[in-house]
Amino acid sequence: MASLGIPANTIAVLQKHGFQFQKKYGQNFLIDTHVLDKIIIESEITADDCVLEIGPGIGTMTQYLAETAGRVICVEIDDHLIPILKETLADYDNVTIIHGDILKTDVNDLCATYNDNKPLKVVANLPYYITTPIIMGLFESHVPLSSITIMVQKEVADRMQEGPGSKDYGALSLAVQYYAKPEIVANVPPNCFMPRPNVGSAVIRLSRYEKPPVEVQDEKKMFALIRAAFNQRRKTLVNAISNAGIYGITKDDVQAALEKLGLSPTIRGEALSLSQFAKLSDEIVHQK
Ligand code: SAM
């Protein structure tokens, strides 16, 4: 099968199957060989790796992955793409195509079945409408993985790298930075896709930490506090957390914890670092 990274080959496959792009599935297929090569290099895949690809589309990046990795598991939601994938990936015996919704797929189970519970590498040109739930789902379900190399909206990639004081700093930045080291490895303009998205894109590599950079007694509670803080980011931390009605935490609880940490009672969540959120969470765990 000819390389789908070449636009004429992609067009021929789409025409042969009468494929109609589905906007609801965030379908923007890659048609740039340089970008595809760059993703393969930056994901640092070797023949020992088992790669999970989310949303293979017509199998363009899957072909590149199959040439480099030991095994590729791809999960695609759109029924119309399954027969196309079977055809475009027919030459590869190391690819498994799974028809399903990644948000409803038990990735721990896939890892056990196809990789003996050894860490997977995730590589994907993500459907942008569900970028955050996909990333959070992978981290929070503690799937064994060594890295996630993904194409996302440029603005979202920036958000993952930000720290306190930036307007883009938020719950996603903190979650990503708790689990992984983020690094933007390429900026990708709209003309590298078919159809063209109306936003810029970036490839970001998230290298999973073996141990998070901060210690916290109750990870779940810390993330509940973080979500509450940024759901009402213009409010003080005291108000944002107590308004959220989580774990019975009151204004007094938050005020007491802030005082213990030597932080202002009027501080906002956007001013706290990951390590300060961890300490705040530990203080509140002690009170409850
Ligand atoms: N990997 C292909 C490429 O680079 O050309 C396609 C990328 S396209 C941005 C996103 C792909 O994810 C589409 O094929 C879309 O159908 C698929 N998709 C969307 N939502 C999904 C979901 N919930 N689970 C699995 N795949 C999904």
Tens of pLDDT along 226-272? 999 999 989 999 999 999 999 999 999 999 999 999 999 999 999 99
Residue 239 burial by Cβ neighbours in a 10 Å radius (0-12, 13-18, 19+):
middle
* Contact (CB, 8 A) for 230 and 171: yes
Q: What is the dihedral of CA 67, 68, 70, 71, to 10 degrees?
A: -60
Flag whether pLDDT at 287 surpasses 80: no
- Testing ligand 1's pocket by substitution, the residue of 17, 27, 81, 132 carrying the most ligand atoms inside 8 A of its CB is 27
Nearest atom in ligand 1 to the alpha carbon of residue 151 is 9
45 C-alpha to ligand 1 centroid (Å): 21
Nearest atom in ligand 1 to the alpha carbon of residue 105 is 24
* Contact (CB, 8 A) for 280 and 225: yes
- The protein residue whose alpha carbon is closest to atom 1 in ligand 1 is 56
Q: Determine how many CB atoms are found less than 10 A away from the CB of residue 86.
A: 12
Average pLDDT over residues 261-285: 95
- pLDDT single digits (tens) 73-115: 999 999 999 999 999 999 999 999 999 999 999 999 999 999 9
88 lines ligand 1 (CB under 6 A): no
Nearest atom in ligand 1 to the alpha carbon of residue 25 is 19
Q: Phi/psi class of residue 65: alpha, beta or left (left: φ > 0; alpha: ψ in -120 to 50)?
A: alpha
- pLDDT single digits (tens) 130-183: 999 999 999 989 999 999 999 999 999 999 999 998 989 999 999 999 999 999
- The protein residue whose alpha carbon is closest to atom 17 in ligand 1 is 55
Q: 2: pLDDT confidence band, cut at 50, 70 and 90?
A: confident
* Contact (CB, 8 A) for 30 and 196: no
As a whole number of angstroms, the distance between CA 73 and CA 255 comes to 49
- Output the average pLDDT for the chain: 95
